[in-house]
Amino acid sequence: MLVIASLLAGLVFGLGLIVSGMANPAKVLGFLNLAGPWDPSLALVMVGAIAVGLVAFHVARKRTTSLLGAAMELPISRQIDRRLVLGSVLFGVGWGIVGFCPGPAIVALGMGQAKAVVFVVAMLFGMGIFELFERRKQAVLMRA
């Protein structure tokens, strides 16, 4: 049941990205291009998503189990640290270069776009590099 819910959530998320135009990197770059002819669409996508999200998370935060009986795994960290900021800077630069963030890149991959394949493979490689560093750090900590 959880797997089906997950599949549906991914599907609706992807449909939202296509309907909103955000699967198209050119449209995202139109929003990030503040100094040029600016396309505010992405801001309205956020408004629509957050309007629904505010209600949903207000309800979710009070629950100890999900409607399907799964444990609630919402984040608890409140730490604003170097990792958060540095990681977000790297992500923002990559986002600004091409106009892809992870969700739209996966949807574009589903459209069979060859360039999306290149981007997603590099992104997975980047995530793999992160995992290797984390594992090495863990190993050093264990030895200490």
Partner 1 sequence: MSVDWNAFTSWSALVGGVLIGIAAAMFALLNGRIAGISGVIGGLLKPAPGDVAWRAAFVVGLLSAPLVYSLFAVLPELHIAAPSGTLVLAGLLVGIGTRYGSGCTSGHGVCGLSRLSPRSLVATATFMGAGFVTVYVIRHLLGI
DSSP bridge pairs for 71: 65
CB 105 within 8 A of CB 120: yes
- Distance between CA 33 and CA 39 in Å, rounded? 8
- The residues that bridge with 91 in the sheet, in sequence order, are none
Subset of 53-82 contacting partner 1 (CB under 8 A): 53-57, 59-61, 63, 65-68, 70-75, 77-80
- Closest contact distance (angstroms) between CB of 137 and partner 1 is 12
Q: State the nearest-atom distance from the C-beta of 136 to partner 1, in Å.
A: 13
Give pairs for 1-4: CB < 8 Å, separation 24+: 1/68, 2/68, 2/70
CB of 76 to partner 1, least distance (A): 10
Q: Does 138 bind partner 1 (CB under 8 A)?
A: no
Residues 87-116 that bind partner 1 (CB under 8 A): 87-103, 105-111, 113, 115-116
Please, what is the end-to-end C-alpha distance for the chain in angstroms?
Answer: 43
Could you give the string, one character per residue 22-41, with x where binding to partner 1 holds by CB under 8 A and - elsewhere? xxxxxx-xx-xxxxxxxxxx
Residues paired with 65 in a beta bridge: 71
- State which residue, 53 or 136, has the beta carbon closest to partner 1: 53
What part of residues 116-135 is at the interface with partner 1 (CB under 8 A)? 116, 118-131
